[in-house]
Amino acid sequence: MGLEMLNIRTVVLSLPGLALLGLHPAWAAPSCMPKIEGPVAVTASSKPYEPSSNPYAGAAPPKGEKEEEFFVSCTASTGAYKTVIHVTMPADPAKQSGIVIAEPWHGGDFWTVYDKARPYITRAGHVSIAIVSSNFVLSNFFKKAEPNRYGGLSLPGPAGRGNGRNAAGTTSDPPDQTQSEVLGQVGALIKAGGVPGVKARKVILGGMSQTGGVTRAYIAYEHAKPGAKSVYDGYFPEQSALPSYPGPLADLDVPVVELQGEREMIVMFERGFDKLKFMRADGPNYRLYEVPGMPHIATRTASRLPGDSVPTNKIEPGVADCTEHVWTNFPTDMVYGAALDALVQWVDKGIAAPHVTPIATSADYRTIKRDAYGNALGGFRTSYLDVPIAQYRGTWGSYHVGAGGKPTDAKVAKCEMIGWNSYFNHDQLKKLYPTHADYVAKVEKDTADLVQKRLLLAEDARTLNEEARKAAIP
């Protein structure tokens, strides 16, 4: 069944106290302030863990950046722990922005906020810190792959992924108390200036997909008591419609920017939900951005035609055999960059993130309204949909759900995480854009409008304009 037929709508340093650092936060100090060791030396027998599925595995850090690992230890209510954090930061300390983007290490073995917002994070001088906060990640990935380096580390807590949802995304798993406590304690450590070499004026906790659910669960944990104050200065839970606790996020004392792609809306109803559980109106400290055409997994740098061999630029695993359509080149990284920058400006300078109308739907929210080309109306816009040369599909297609809420076709279940394009033929393009100059002019006008609305960063607008100039359109 095509998408148009779907019914949808969702050194060892110890910090005994913050006062010793001259820090007087509005939030309460954690019950245990972690100790930190490192940076951990890299030797022939002790190398940092790199997931083979990481598209940047084995590659050097971006030019002008460096990567370091540290061990952190403390005590949670479930017991003592010692784990690892992975830091990516400008090699020149003077180029640090003072903004830290922290995220839990993904239970699927990705650091997805950094992957998707990497161009923006790198050029802005932000620091990225991936926190190994769950027993599942530490035991199944790090310790198994590099026992010499990580064999002495341990985390209490459940052996499962700890995403707050079961595999089908329909019922709650017991929350991972340890993971939430580790995230809070390490967040306090970062804010206190306790990570060597890292300047932390503001710290944001984010996550994408499964770790977006972890971020949501952390918010629920931290704000369980009335009047609770956030350790973090803002939150960035992204594309986490399924692996998250039920219901929309509540209003908090710090800003939150939440992204949901068109794919999340489609799949939530396909998997049996009767409503989009993330939906809520914007609030004083909350913005929801629904993004038409955006898939769950970004394939912009790995786009290919049906039948092509596996692309050189690897992406998340399980999708290399999805060959029936043209992989989407949707600019996910640019959407993430603009949304994350809006949150940074909000937490750092008090400039509220822009309001964006939701994706247009029917009155019962279950059918997306589309233009004459099949692209969704409304939402967080991009020039790809405003000046289209294709229909941008946020998911591979529909699939049947079997017992336990799981897809019956394993291949399609993986392919549905990526999107694909139905390109217009020459006659359609000629009707829309009689000349190449017409096409370029429309793209340049639209990108200028998006920059003015703060839905696109100026650097990315230049990239899209140059892309349009080089395109053989019409």
Q: Which amino acid is at 268?
A: M
- Residue 224 makes CB contacts below 8 A (sequence gap 6+) with none
Answer yes or no: is pLDDT of 462 > 70.
yes
Q: What confidence score (pLDDT) does residue 243 get?
A: 57
Question: Taking all residues of the chain, what is their mean pLDDT, rounded to a whole number?
Answer: 84
What percentage of the chain carries pLDDT values higher than 70? 79
pLDDT of residue 337: 98
Q: What is the pLDDT of residue 364?
A: 80
Q: Of the ranges 7-11, 68-72, 298-302, 347-351, which one carries the lowest mean pLDDT score?
A: 7-11
Answer whether 0.95 is exceeded by the pTM: no
Q: Work out the pLDDT band at 89, boundaries 50, 70, 90.
A: very high
Provide the residue type at 117 as one letter: A
In which band, very low, low, confident or very high, does the pLDDT at 363 lie, cut at 50, 70 and 90? confident
**Residue 310 above 70 pLDDT?**
no
Q: What is the pLDDT of residues 166-214, one digit of tens each?
A: 433 444 456 689 999 999 999 999 999 999 999 999 999 999 999 999 9
Domain ranges, ordered by start, for the chain: 8-361
CB 378 within 8 A of CB 288: no
| Segment among 32-41, 151-160, 250-259, 322-331 with least mean pLDDT | 322-331
Report whether pLDDT(101) > 50: yes
Contact 85, 195 (CB under 8 A): yes
Judge whether 380 and 443 are in contact, CB under 8 Å.
no
**Mean pLDDT score, 346-367:** 93
Is the Cβ–Cβ distance between 94 and 126 less than 8 Å? no
65 against 397, higher pLDDT: 65
Average pLDDT on 385-393 reads 96
Q: What is the pLDDT of residue 312?
A: 40
Q: What is the pLDDT of residue 245?
A: 59
pLDDT for position 150? 98
The rounded Cα 68 to chain-centroid distance in angstroms is: 21
Residues 6+ apart with CB under 8 A from 24: 18
HEC readout, 200-258:
CCEEEEEEECHHHHHHHHHHHHHCCCCCCCCCCCEEEEECCCCCCCCCCCCCCCCCEEE
Q: Longest Cα pair distance anywhere in the chain, in angstroms?
A: 70
Instruction: Show the CA angle centred on residue 165, arms to residues 160 and 168, nearest 5°.
Output: 100
pLDDT at 378 exceeding the cut of 90:
yes
User: Residue 346: pLDDT band by 50, 70, 90 thresholds?
Assistant: very high
Strands (E), 307-374: 326-327
The CATH code belonging to domain 8-361 is 3.40.50
CA angle 99, 37, 190 (to 5 degrees): 20
CA distances to 8, 386, 390, 445 from 442, rounded to whole Å, are 31, 9, 15, 5
Least confident of 11-20, 117-126, 183-192: 11-20
> Residue 1 pLDDT more than 60?
no
Least confident of 47-51, 212-216, 298-302, 355-359: 298-302
